[in-house]
Amino acid sequence: MSPVELTGEMLIGASDVFGSSGTFTGRDPRTGEDLKPVYGLGDRTEVEQAAGLAWDAFRSYRQTDGETRAAFLDRIAANLEAVTGELVTRVVTETGIAEPRVRGELARTVSQLRLFGRVLREGSWIGARIEPPLPDRKPLPRPDLRQRKIPLGPVAVFGASNFPLAFSVAGGDTASALAAGCPVIVKAHSSHPGTSEIVGRAIRAAVAESGLPEGVFSLLYGRGSKLGTALVADPRVRAVGFTGSRGGGLALAATAAARPVPIPVYAEMSSVNPVFLLPGALSDAPEDLGAAFVTSLTTGTGQLCTNPGLVFAVDSPALEIFLESAAASVSATPAAPMLSQSICSAFSEGVQRYAAHPAVQPVAAGGPGESIDAAGVTHLFTTTGSAFLADKSLHEEVFGAASLVVRIEDASALPLIVEALEGQLTATIHAGAADLHLAGQLLPELELKVGRIIFNGWPTGVDVGQAMVHGGPYPSTYDGRSTSVGTLAIERFLRPVAYQDLPEPLCPAGLDDANELGIFRQLDGTYGRA
């Protein structure tokens, strides 16, 4: 591909539209410098246009076969790889994320697109169920019944700031919605408009190269909540994917519920990702655990959804060693740019809240960041189990590299702690051989609170695969019945339909007697490829 020339335009189907509702620019969080070009903000008009095109496109796009959509996702991946150089440069400039991590995130993003391609080629995602007719059944004959899953319709995707590639324009929500057969309208995150435009143009090129209708993809820019609200309220939009703040997610959910026809909102909102250091594991290797914890805490300058914001451990000499080790690692961690000045300000406020809390003690702080505009300085604090239980404000997420180590008097208090927690994306248990009984007691309690439970590891680093769950009870997500990472994410954008006594010539692919697609399905209650 030739180099992408950034224009500041929205991509509305095949049209370039420079928004007329004001302008904004990206900004380098390392220097505070405004970045070219200027971006034009859209409003209701562009939402209307994009939604109209998306609905038109839906009628044919949803009928495309698995191979067509898989090849489309592969093309998006290839188009992104073809602009790796300028894309990586722009992401680094707009977000301050270090280049190796950006390259890793790009690899994850393209492999995610190809993973959904494999899901489509495999084909079992349609959830086919067939019950052959039983004309002689008493008291009533059984009709021929065939069930499959079909896509919901156009999906509004809100790009996240903290994963400018993997959870943004061509991220997990977009990949899973396109895989399901749903056109996508992305509202770009305003902290990385150039990244969004580069990725958006790569998707749009793939739409054209695949011969798909232009409305399969649009990219809009909007400031504040106005454009996003209009998008969620549009009758042609049928589901929402969002990763961001709790306030933002709840506002979209309220808009979606107030529509004449409500729609599902898959909003990932906040998570503190508690870590439980059980006594055996802690005394086995307190120093190593302390260092490894800080590595997880500071990954991405602490701005990952699965950042470990709370650590629970029984007061003990081993815990002191853990804290000393963690403190040394924190002190040795240089400040790094955060994603934006507003995220940096919110982080500083959260750190101040900890620092000013009478029951919270500082343990260590990382290197200062005088030379960085939006500097994220790592912080570690401690408090007690009773203080934690007494004050819900200590349960809240501080988005960034700050964590609170909670000293518990006795392991018997852990179930009470777990019960007091809000819903989380993850929980982590460090358990040695001596801790298995206690871990077994905690596990069922944690299952009620989280979407993923990690043993003897760290919550950051979400593997994109078939068995991942990146979701969890409210408020970690608005709808805890799903995942936003991994192949199960496709189910968010599907619903079942049954056909009774369907004439054979009208039978959709995958529901035919011969199973020409060779997919896994359920036939008369039995699973197989028959």
Site for its own copies in 436-465 (CB under 8 A): 436, 439-440, 443-444, 447-448, 450-457, 461, 463, 465
473 binds its own copies (CB under 8 A): yes
Residue 23's CB is within 10 A of a number of other CB atoms, namely: 15
522 binds its own copies (CB under 8 A): yes
505 binds its own copies (CB under 8 A): yes
220 binds its own copies (CB under 8 A): no
Number of chain residues interacting with its own copies (CB under 8 A): 77
Residue of 11, 170, 469, 517 that binds its own copies (CB under 8 A): 469
CA distance 236 to 246: 25
Q: Are 503 and 151 in contact (CB under 8 A)?
A: no
Give the binding range for its own copies (CB under 8 A) out of 85-93, 222-230, 361-369, 503-511.
503-511
**Of 18 and 474, which has the nearer Cβ to its own copies?**
474
To its own copies, the closest distance from the beta carbon of 289 in angstroms equals 15
To its own copies, the closest distance from the beta carbon of 251 in angstroms equals 13
At 380 the three-state DSSP class reads: strand
**Of 334 and 461, which has the nearer Cβ to its own copies?**
461
Residues 6+ positions from 304 with CB-CB distance below 8 Å: 162, 460
Residue of 468, 490, 510, 515 that binds its own copies (CB under 8 A): 468
Tokens of 282: 């802690």
Answer whether the bond into residue 475 is a cis peptide, omega within 30°: yes
118 binds its own copies (CB under 8 A): yes
524 binds its own copies (CB under 8 A): yes
270 binds its own copies (CB under 8 A): no
CA distance 481 to 137: 37
Instruction: Report 30-59 residues binding its own copies (CB under 8 A).
Output: 59
264 binds its own copies (CB under 8 A): yes
Query: Which sign does the torsion angle of CA 442, 448, 450, 451 carry?
Result: positive
| Strands 361-365 vs 379-384: parallel, antiparallel or unpaired | antiparallel
To its own copies, the closest distance from the beta carbon of 111 in angstroms equals 11
Catalytic site includes residue 46? no
DSSP letters spanning 29-44: TTT--B-SS-EE---H
Provide the residue count of the chain: 530
CA distance 424 to 272: 7
**Of 36 and 59, which has the nearer Cβ to its own copies?**
59
98 binds its own copies (CB under 8 A): no
CA distance 110 to 92: 18
The single residue of 214, 305, 344, 397 carrying the catalytic annotation is 305
356 binds its own copies (CB under 8 A): no
Residue 419's CB is within 10 A of a number of other CB atoms, namely: 11
Residue of 1, 34, 142, 362 that binds its own copies (CB under 8 A): 142
Residue 43's CB is within 10 A of a number of other CB atoms, namely: 16
Q: Which residues are catalytic?
A: 268, 305
